[in-house]
Structure 1
Amino acid sequence: MPEPTPVPDDPGLTFGQRLKVQRTRRGMTRDVLAGLVGKSGSWVKAVEAGRLQAPKLSMLLRLAEALRVRDLAQLTGDQSIPISLFTGPGHARLPAVRSAVNAMPVLTSRAAPPVGHLRARLDQAWATRHSSPRHREVLGQLLPDLIGDSQLAAHQADSRAERRAAQAVLAEVYALSQFFIAYQPAQDLLWRVAERGMIAAQDSGDLHAIGVASWLMAQAHRDAGDWDAADVVTSHTLELLTRHSDGATTSVAAIHGAMLFEDGYTAARRGETGAAWGRWDAANSVADRLPGTYYHPVTSFSRAIMGAHAVTIAVELRAGGESVRQADRTVSAAIPSRPRRARHEIEQARAYYLDAQPDVALSVLEAANEAAPETIRYNGYARRIILEELDERDGRRQRRASELADRMGLLTA
């Protein structure tokens, strides 16, 4: 009878065994993981075999980032010092959003607002999110009523046309909800909303709604480490969008470009340089055909975002020099969304940190904190850099990281 497959939370596993389990779960070779953390395949093999001791905190954080391990205890086995890397603190308004998602519209007797009214509220909510540094706070205020009213509209729709229109709005409301829920300790709720959004989008038959739901679902799979599932969602959606590319609206064309980039992002995570940049080129061709000032409210896809996407591809490929070149070429001020601009600045910080320029990385993270503190506070990459710098022997860098961590609320999260 075969031996049972070990699991990471088995208390009898060594660090090396835990590392091997997490690596094989992600479908990574030793050489790929080694490349992601700046080591050799033989180093990974030696650690997994127990010939080398568990690495120091800075390398543990790099391994956790590469493997998308959300808690260092999953690698170390030491439950007394959990460090949640990719999950930020729970927002005070998360319970209200959860309650709204879980509510049953069939139990509500009041009349639903018109779909056109809901669409106007949704558009305004996106605009408010992009303009606010405290975007999670404003979404936490708006979402409970918006979720409830949209669920009610879909439930009460009389005609097929009205139902399809209501489901398209509901799908996008669920998309907006995912931006609020992401990186909070609510993975169950995130998946529930993602799946409901996909169901509502498919029920609507609306190409834009289907594209948005698929874009978010592909990200959810990739962030969970299931790259194969992300590939399936991405390839199927691209096939659908390609079929309808002739005469597509601007918003559908933008979704097409966003999905092409997501495919490149996943390829970069795998270390597939040619495929990653090839998909970026294809996405850039789509962006070039969009109006110059156009900015997709959900995906941020636009001409302005392509430089930021190039930084991300280079960073995920661990190309230090190229990532810095891309970071230096891209003007973050061109991105009209505060949270997306802060996200790009975090990617720039990753580029400089990868290129052994920690002071520049900290400066860019400070700018990101100014642009949108609720982006950087919940971002795992920013948290990893700051945690590494808190462990730095250089007292000046350590103090600077400590001050930034304090401003972010990281030390009290």
Structure 2
Amino acid sequence: MVSGSVGERIAAYRRRRGLSQTALAGLVGRSESWLSQVERGVRSVDRLSVLLDLAKVLNVEVEALTGQPWQYAPNGSPLVDGLDDVRRFFSRYDSLLGIAPDDQVDVVDVRDRVNAAHRAYQAAEYERVVQELPSLLSLADPLRSTASGGRRREALASYVNAYAMAAKLLTKMGAADLALLSADRAASAAVDADSVEARGMAAYQVVCALLRADRAEDAEQLAVQMAEVVQREARPEQPEVISVAGALWLIAAVIAGRRTERGEAWRRLDQAEVLATMLGQDGNFAWTAFGPTNVAIHRVSVAAELGDPAEAIRAADAVDPDRLPAGLNSRRAQVHLDLAWAQGQRKRDADALLHLMEAERTAPEMVRYNVMARELVREMLARQKKSKTSALHRLAVQAGVLD
């Protein structure tokens, strides 16, 4: 069996089959730049389906590529208690069956509960929100069909907010099919709401869900086009619209980074910087966490995506997480995850471990459900020669990589 990292193994078996990077990438529906990054150790294979496709084309078992038993393959997030209940909710169609809610829906109550769920999500309390999601969506569902009069727009906004929150959580959990369904419901209601803010929020979640489903080209097209639409409506007195436009440019920059389009990635970050300057503060309007600090965090993220660890480390010097609004634990942890990835690219495992431990201290569930973090832990475990009582082993257990 070939030794080395997953990327090195893929490269060795590719050469053994006499395939070029262009040929192998095309056979698994990826770009040559993506495969180049994987083979160089800049990116991880973050979906089991892609790993299976690579193994099939290379005519080897998956374990030959991972060098690990099947249960340790880089296959995304662990199972989440309660996700089956969410799936069952999405299989119900009460409106088609004519099933009405037992009680009158209170728009204010729904709005408050949705806002609480957003706060829990941003605090990286994912498992708690998963448990509450079916009942919350059941409460929000009637808003679209029953609200009328002067409160209809408010009701539709709450409905969009509920399904946007569900989409971001399900994307985080790796349930791409449910995330796309949630985002689509938000998008349909956003059009009815006649709100550019709602349309932008919904589009952002569609983009994230498409990315999770490995449809990066579709995601990028929507992100850029919607960012341009929303930005045209942005005014200093409309912080929500500014923030949504900025968030769309940030996700568009991340996508460009994944495609190794350096110039385009920085251009999109600069567009977001203009909007952050217009906003003039680190806010959390429309649950975007958008502002100058979040733009600075994304400069670190994009540099890591580009495989430029030195730039990621330099960009991190401009980040002051204490400027973020209270409760944004996931944003604070993201800097450390990106720096861990950057240090991992340099094979500086001690430094990478320190950043992973800080991210885990700040937002434990974010590390547990982050594909990049879990794959980095696996790679570091493979390189480590120390005992099972080490800090890395303890982190691997806490992150769900090891039992």
Q: TM-score range by the shorter chain?
A: 0.7 to 0.9
Does residue 316 of structure 1 match 2:305?
yes
> Distance between the aligned counterparts of 2:333 and 2:388, measured in 1?
21
Q: CA deviation at 1:26?
A: 4.6
Is 2:261 the partner of 1:272?
Answer: yes
C-alpha distance in structure 1 between counterparts of 2:255 and 2:44, whole Å: 18
How far has the Cα of 1:144 moved from its partner? 2.2
Which one of the candidate residues 160, 164, 171 is aligned to 2:160?
171
In 2, the alpha carbon distance for the partners of 1:86 and 1:200 equals 33
- In 1, Cα distance between equivalents of 2:383 and 2:231: 49
* Structure 2 residue 363 is the aligned partner of structure 1 residue 372: yes
Distance apart, 1:142 and its partner CA: 3.1
1:36 aligns with 2:37: yes
CA distance in 2, matches of 1:394, 1:118: 52
Q: TM-score, normalised by structure 1?
A: 0.81
The SS at the match of 1:289 is helix
* Matching of residue 119 in structure 1 with residue 111 in structure 2: yes
Q: Where in structure 2 are the equivalents of 1:324-403 lying within 5 Å?
A: 324-335=313-324, 336=326, 337-395=328-386, 399-403=390-394
Q: 1:18 & 1:99 partners in 2: Cα distance? A: 44
How has the CA–CA distance of structure 1 residues 109 and 274 changed in structure 2, closer, same or farther, with 3 Å as cutoff? closer
Runs of 4+ in 1 over 6 A off after TM superposition: 14-19
CA distance in 1, matches of 2:237, 2:91: 35
> In the alignment, is residue 73 of structure 1 matched against residue 62 of structure 2?
no
Contact kept? 2:168, 2:205, Cα under 8 Å: no
Contact kept? 1:175, 1:213, Cα under 8 Å: yes
Question: In 2, are the aligned partners of 1:339 and 1:375 still within 8 Å (CA)?
Answer: yes
Task: Give how far 1:371 is off.
Answer: 1.3
Q: Which position in structure 2 is the counterpart of 1:157? A: 147
Partner of 2:216: 227
CA distance in 2, matches of 1:348, 1:398: 24
C-alpha spacing 1:63/1:148, structure 2 compared with 1 (3 Å): closer
Residue 252 of structure 1 corresponds to which residue in structure 2?
241
Give deviations 1:154-199, integer Å, cap 9, x for gaps: 222234x544432221111111112322243533222211211211
Aligned pair in 2 of structure 1 residues 279, 293: CA closer, same or farther (>3 Å)?
A: closer
8 A Cα contact 2:163 2:185, kept in partner: yes
Residue segments in structure 1 that go unaligned for 5+ positions in a row: 1-13, 40-58
CA distance in 1, matches of 2:335, 2:75: 17
Give the partner amino acid of 1:331.
Answer: D
Q: Residue 52 of structure 2 contacts residue 62 of structure 2 at CA under 8 Å; is this kept in 1? A: yes
Q: 349-358 or 178-187: which moved more?
A: 178-187
Contact 1:88 1:378 in 2 (8 A): yes
Deviation string, structure 1 residues 81-130 (Cα, Å, up to 9, x no partner)? 26553521221121232333333244134233222332222222222333
Secondary structure of 1:278's aligned partner: helix
In the alignment, does 2:138 pair up with 1:148? yes
Query: Structure 2 vs 1, CA of residues 269 and 26 (structure 1 numbering), >3 Å: closer, same or farther?
Result: farther
| CA gap 1:85/1:396 in 2 versus in 1, 3 angstroms | same
Matches within 5 A, 1:65-214: 65=46, 72-77=51-56, 78=61, 81=70, 83=72, 85=74, 87-103=76-92, 104-105=94-95, 106-131=98-123, 135-159=125-149, 162-184=151-173, 186-214=175-203
Aligned residues: CA RMSD: 2.8
Correspondent of 2:45 among 40, 44, 64: 64
CA distance in structure 2 between the aligned counterparts of 1:156 and 1:394, rounded to whole angstroms: 62
Structure 1 residues 84 and 228, CA gap change in structure 2 (3 angstroms): same
CA distance in 1, matches of 2:85, 2:304: 36
- 2:129 maps to a residue whose letter is L
Pairs aligned (count): 372
**Partner deviation per Cα, 1:337-389 (whole Å, 9 max, x = no partner):** 11222233211211221233211111111111111111111111001111101
Residue 62 of structure 1 and its aligned partner are, at CA, apart by 4.2
Residues 1:305 and 2:308 aligned together:
no
Counterpart residue type for residue 341 of structure 1: R
CA distance in 1, matches of 2:77, 2:18: 27
Q: Rate the CA distance shift 1:109–1:255 in 2: closer, same or farther, 3 A.
A: closer
* CA distance 1:136–1:246, shift in 2 (3 Å): closer
For 1:290 and 1:170, how far apart are their aligned partners in 2?
Answer: 26
For residues 18 and 91 of structure 1, do their structure 2 counterparts lie closer, same or farther at Cα, with a shift above 3 Å needed?
farther
Change (3 A) 1:83 1:204: farther
What's the CA shift string for 1:244-291, capped at 9, x where partnerless?
224661011001111111221111111111111111111012112224
Counterpart residue type for residue 341 of structure 2: R
- Give the conservation status (yes or no) of the 8 Å contact 1:86–1:379: no
- Contact 1:97/1:144 (8 A) holds in 2: yes
Question: Does structure 1 residue 215 correspond to structure 2 residue 215?
Answer: no
The alpha-carbon distance between structure 1 residues 190 and 293, as it changes in their structure 2 partners (threshold 3 A), is: closer
